[in-house]
Amino acid sequence: MIRFDGVTKEFPGGTVAVDDLSLTAPTGKITVLVGPSGCGKTTSLRMVNRMIEPTRGSIALDGQDTGRMKQAELRRGIGYVIQHAGLFPHRTVLDNIGTVPRLLGWDKKKIRDRSRELLETVGLDPALGDRYPTQLSGGQQQRVGVARALAADPPVMLMDEPFSAVDPIVREQLQDEFLRLQDELGKTIVFVTHDIDEAIKLGDQVAVLRVGGTLAQIAEPAYLLAHPADDFVADFVGRDRGYRALQFQPAPRLPLRSERSIVIGERPETTGSGWLLVVDDERHPLGWVEPARIGPRAVEDADLHRGGTIAAAGGSLRSALDAALSSPSRRGVIVDESGELVGTVLAHEVLNAIEETDRPERDEVDPVHGGAVSVADDGS
């Protein structure tokens, strides 16, 4: 557990970056610091490992005042991931990952084995271990940065906008991989971002900071979206916070319909108007195609419209609605756990499910048994 108690940071010249900050980052959970530029997010993060010293107040790590700990000892027990990975360009990937274990005096074989293990843990091919950072993509470098932070198995990790320097598709992949890792490892994490969507997706709790470094609100994501503390928080989380909140509502059984599909490389049976869903040999959706545009020839990869998202059966209402709205056919693609197509759904059908989910119940007297029964507003 990390506890901020009345922490203030005032720089020479009188600029106050963080002002009387008190909050707790629970053990084994992700606490996200989010807010506009100048709100003290990164300063707060760096005060945890004493890269920046607080002016007033204290920070405790599992009950121990970090200000009384030796800096080197403190930092070796904390994983730290930054925006551009911060890898040493003259060292191989494996050597980068083994940086902290080397400082801790591990033997060479143990460092090598641990580094190779972590490459696989973060979803990278172990063959990349002998390459240098410049030979990796941005997303691969960020994964190496996470692996390096995990190398000595620290109980605490600090992450300063680690995914903001990569493109949106890679960023989403890194976020998903990060959540998978956290589900396995259960680290105590403080994560800084300026992106409210990222905060809502990753955080077990989200702390919204104002410019000047004061805490506006800290809450679980669903509560934050539904009950912003004031106008500043409401504006920051966005006017579409109601839509964002749908990601915390599991979709009920939706009226899925069987979808016409074709395996890539085959010829459409018709060249008429409308959209046709293209799948692979295992019925994993690949994209949509318009038979009228390609004629009688076989469907090629270049013909596919890949703009639509895919939702998992039993996932959130938001993912189902987004799948329907983003699809060129306006039919949302739903898949099972293996990624196999199970059907499609229309946007108005998802909206109907939202209405059913939100419909309040009232108590009425059972005319037969005399007891109270719960019924929906439409009498059902």
Q: At 80, phi and psi to the nearest 5?
A: -135, 125
Q: Alpha-carbon distance 220 to 79, whole Å?
A: 24
What pTM does this model have?
0.75
- Given a contact cutoff of 8 angstroms between Cβ atoms, the answer to whether 313 and 303 are in contact is no
For the sheet containing 276-279, what is the strand order? 261-263, 276-279, 285-289
The pLDDT of residue 305: 87
Q: What angle do CA 260, 263, 265 make, to 5 degrees?
A: 135
The pLDDT of residue 376: 43
Q: What is the chain's Cα-based Rg? A: 25
Q: pLDDT tens, 179-192?
A: 988 998 899 999 99
Specify the length of the chain in residues. Answer: 380
Percent of the chain with pLDDT over 90: 41
Domains of the chain, earliest start first: 2-247 (3.40.50.300), 261-357 (3.10.580.10)
* pLDDT reading at 269 higher than 90: no
Q: pLDDT tens, 281-310?
A: 999 999 998 888 888 888 888 888 877 788
* pLDDT reading at 240 higher than 70: yes
The two tokens of residue 62 are 């599992």
Q: pLDDT tens, 146-190?
A: 888 888 888 999 999 988 877 777 788 888 888 988 998 899 999
Task: Look at the block and give the residue holding tokens 């191989």.
Answer: 92
- Given a contact cutoff of 8 angstroms between Cβ atoms, the answer to whether 270 and 239 are in contact is no
- Given a contact cutoff of 8 angstroms between Cβ atoms, the answer to whether 303 and 292 are in contact is no
- Given a contact cutoff of 8 angstroms between Cβ atoms, the answer to whether 286 and 264 are in contact is yes
Closest of 299, 286, 301 to residue 339, by C-alpha: 286
Q: Alpha-carbon distance 262 to 221, whole Å?
A: 40
Encoded amino acid at 40, one letter: G
Instruction: Give residues with Cβ within 8 angstroms of 305, minimum separation 6.
Output: 275, 287, 288, 289, 290, 328
Number of CB atoms found within 10 A of residue 323's CB: 24
* pLDDT reading at 367 higher than 60: no
Encoded amino acid at 369, one letter: H
Q: Alpha-carbon distance 25 to 239, whole Å?
A: 27
**CA 179 vs CA 59, 120, 124, 186: distances in Å:** 26, 16, 16, 10
Closest of 145, 162, 152 to residue 30, by C-alpha: 162
